Structure 1
């Protein structure tokens, strides 16, 4: 019987976080493989809605080592441009990505970790989990969701306003996805935008560059034992990218309070008022996609795995990357994932006792 292949590091996930990890592992001379569940490069970006654009210019949306080239005619590149950039990045650095490979579980196996997948098994001295959140959309437990006879979909299933032309559509959620999809639909559908609280639009001149700076300033303050600056949350909830700004200024983005329940043909608010609707789009966020790590028994409060930096507190051979601020400030963004990816690779090199260049 042939033994499973062994490498120094298995990186699970071939999106932006996995590629950034691969870049730094390669620089440190560490043997690794990237296992990606997708059939093509680009991570979650290849599944985004048609009108999605970055919050920042290309040069400020780059992975380590390679600036994203500008997109002709666009100050803020679209999702397709990002997919092309990630595919080029993967090829340029000859990153060893195997796809499609769906990891089913990570197990302790003596001094190693055993990574079981649909196409085989790997054994590794360390694992970097970089599966992100897109694959685990969150739907709130709103009463009546099961009796509503119209169409319900999450952010991950929305593509364009074409399918909703002339319909009354409720968009739920006051974050960036909710605002962008509401703005996309507003000229084409009878829009109801509902949020838990009044949306907080960031100043029009703030984009991803400022958000990254705010996240970095918060990290530095916390590291120094200073007061929490609030980071990105202190600035607001919605980046006023051009389509959102245009819809807002045209009076098309007027949020209403969140309804209390769904009825068979619409929604109902606390005061008893109702609205008949054809569809509900839940822009209600995501949870970290960590089911493959369940065999390790590491889950803590709120479904997260406690970490120190990127390293799992209770399993020193496991690093988590790209899930949000709890795995590195702004680590779920293109520009922000580079530093925690570097930190994870260096920590692994120290664990192995290799000399860093």
Structure 2
């Protein structure tokens, strides 16, 4: 049986964990944030140096604190986000333990959880928010022959800057924003090929003089659930002001159909030709980093069973920061706060014995945030 003094343990101190901490305090619960890194800024310091947000500052903040700066229409850089999260974490009156990695979560007889950490601590918790993100679990495909390839293979999670690739033949795999942005950045330094399974789809960054996110906001499209988005958008699209499309049209970036196998010196293309390459960078996404929930039996192929972030297998367990958790913007700075309010309300309802309705599928979202 849980007691009123037991905390809600939030696993992860990045944007999702911090949004959860704020929402937990607002709900009258006591959060304890456990962050594996050295400070509560999540994975942002580890992204590539040139990364910028695809949404303007005015649409990229967590609840209760806007981005500082004179120009709300600027696109914050990686280090701007890190500085923002530092300020945000300092503004929250919550216990935040850094350098603390959660290794396992076990159910307790009678309710609640026992959270184990790599420092040997065992924390009793009334509820758990799994907000550990996915950066620690990059998806790296294994095409035939990869083990024999003598060149460099890495995920974009471990790419930082273009200079080490100067003069090299580099293959970037992927058709999303990160793949195209990194390939474009590499092009002045290296011979770059983009390998994709289908032609790259582009979406204009600006429409009628306004950033796309302005229109997502005023139309409520940011809140559309995944089922609706899947009907509207058939393929992932790269946000573009025109520079990426022009780079491909001009030959600065060469796009080819995905290769079929590695060789010792390079790759074999779909038409059977082989080509030597010095390095392959996979920009192939991430998977939720939730191994610590394995003892609960709530994962299927590494993915949690949930409705809108509320576990369908364990009361008092919620998730935050999952891609398309409730909407298009769920795992973004601009959207995670809404999801945090939703799942923390479910935790509060669980504490008060009113949790059943939170396990029902979401019927409708409001048209505006």
TM-score w.r.t. length of structure 1: 0.89
Shift of 1:71: 7.4
Shift of 1:234: 4.7
Deviations 1:263-284 (A, max 9, x none): 0001111322111111000111
1:341 maps to which residue?
340
Shift of 1:56: 1.1
Shift of 1:351: 1.4
Rounded Cα–Cα distance in structure 1 between residues aligned with 2:234 and 2:213: 14
Shift of 1:244: 4.0
1:3 maps to which residue?
none
Greater displacement, 98-107 / 199-208: 199-208
Shift of 1:93: 2.0
Rounded Cα–Cα distance in structure 1 between residues aligned with 2:250 and 2:74: 22
TM-score w.r.t. length of structure 2: 0.86
2:177 maps to which residue?
176
1:218 maps to which residue?
224
Give 3-state SS (helix, strand or coil) of 1:216's partner. helix
Shift of 1:253: 3.0
Rounded Cα–Cα distance in structure 1 between residues aligned with 2:128 and 2:347: 9
Contact 1:41 1:83 in 2 (8 A): no
Rounded Cα–Cα distance in structure 2 between residues aligned with 1:189 and 1:306: 43
> In 2 relative to 1, CA 262–55 (structure 1 residues): closer, same or farther, beyond 3 Å?
same
Give runs of aligned pairs for residues 9-158 of structure 1, distance below 5 A. Answer: 9-70=8-69, 75-110=74-109, 111-119=111-119, 120-158=121-159
Contact 2:223 2:328 in 1 (8 A): no
Shift of 1:327: 5.4
1:164 maps to which residue?
165
Matched, 1:254 2:260: no
Contact 1:138 1:286 in 2 (8 A): yes
Rounded Cα–Cα distance in structure 2 between residues aligned with 1:80 and 1:327: 28
Deviations 1:191-211 (A, max 9, x none): 011111100011241544555
Shift of 1:141: 2.2
Matched, 1:351 2:357: no
Contact 2:184 2:244 in 1 (8 A): yes
**Aligned residue pair count:** 343
CA RMSD of aligned residues (A): 2.4
Which runs of 5 or more residues in structure 2 are unaligned?
355-369
Shift of 1:32: 1.3
Shift of 1:100: 0.7
Matched, 1:277 2:283: no
Matched, 1:266 2:266: yes
> In 2 relative to 1, CA 255–243 (structure 1 residues): closer, same or farther, beyond 3 Å?
same
Give 3-state SS (helix, strand or coil) of 2:237's partner. coil
> In 2 relative to 1, CA 155–74 (structure 1 residues): closer, same or farther, beyond 3 Å?
farther
Shift of 1:312: 0.7
Rounded Cα–Cα distance in structure 1 between residues aligned with 2:283 and 2:148: 20
